[in-house]
Amino acid sequence: MSWKFFRRRERESSEKEINHAYRRGKREIVEVMKSRRDKFSQKFGELKGRYKALVDYCEFRGTVEEEIWTQWEPVPVSPNLGIPDTAETGGLDETGEVDQPVAPLDVNDYSIGRSMSGNFDLGD
């Protein structure tokens, strides 16, 4: 009879130990989850703050840009401004491009003391 009693007590104590370990494991898991939640909340708060700052910056930049454009006066442009002389270039085609090919450059065009036109003076 004592063996049965001993076995039953041993089984009960092992069940208690298992239950205790299970509860202890649950507590550890809860602690880990709380720390992860806190870290996530902190990172999410930082991200939320950064997005808010970005939105504020974009809104502010848009108002400043609009203000700059409203302050500028229109610049008068002469109708013949920027049109090359067709006598020098050989004439423009319908797209506005010069219809003569450009002469290829050689190494001497980049020599020190000379310009491509040959009119460069170093002040000798």
The boundaries of the domain holding residue 51 are: 2-80
Single pTM value for the model = 0.32
| Segment 48-84, tens digit of pLDDT | 888 888 888 877 776 666 666 666 666 666 666 555 5
Asked, for residue 48, whether it belongs to a domain, the answer is: yes
Per-residue model confidence (pLDDT) at position 9: 82
d(CA 58, CA 51): 10
Overall domain count for the chain: 1
Q: What DSSP designation does 62 have?
A: H
Per-residue model confidence (pLDDT) at position 94: 57
**Cα end-to-end distance, the chain, whole Å:** 125
d(CA 17, CA 50): 49
Per-residue model confidence (pLDDT) at position 71: 64
Per-residue model confidence (pLDDT) at position 78: 64
Token couple for 34: 């709380």
Asked, for residue 112, whether it belongs to a domain, the answer is: no
| Segment 9-58, tens digit of pLDDT | 888 888 888 888 898 899 999 899 999 999 998 888 888 888 888 888 87
Angle (CA) 26-30-35 rounded to 5° is: 150
Asked, for residue 60, whether it belongs to a domain, the answer is: yes
Asked, for residue 37, whether it belongs to a domain, the answer is: yes
Asked, for residue 115, whether it belongs to a domain, the answer is: no
Cα dihedral across residues 89, 91, 95, 101: positive or negative:
negative
Task: pLDDT band for 117, please (50, 70, 90 cuts).
Answer: low
Q: What does the H/E/C string look like for 9-47?
A: HHHHHHHHHHHHHHHHHHHHHHHHHHHHHHHHHHHHHHH
Asked, for residue 64, whether it belongs to a domain, the answer is: yes
Asked, for residue 72, whether it belongs to a domain, the answer is: yes
98, exposed or middle or buried, with CB in 10 Å at 0-12, 13-18, 19+?
middle
pLDDT surpassing 50 at residue 119 = yes
Asked, for residue 23, whether it belongs to a domain, the answer is: yes
pLDDT surpassing 50 at residue 87 = no
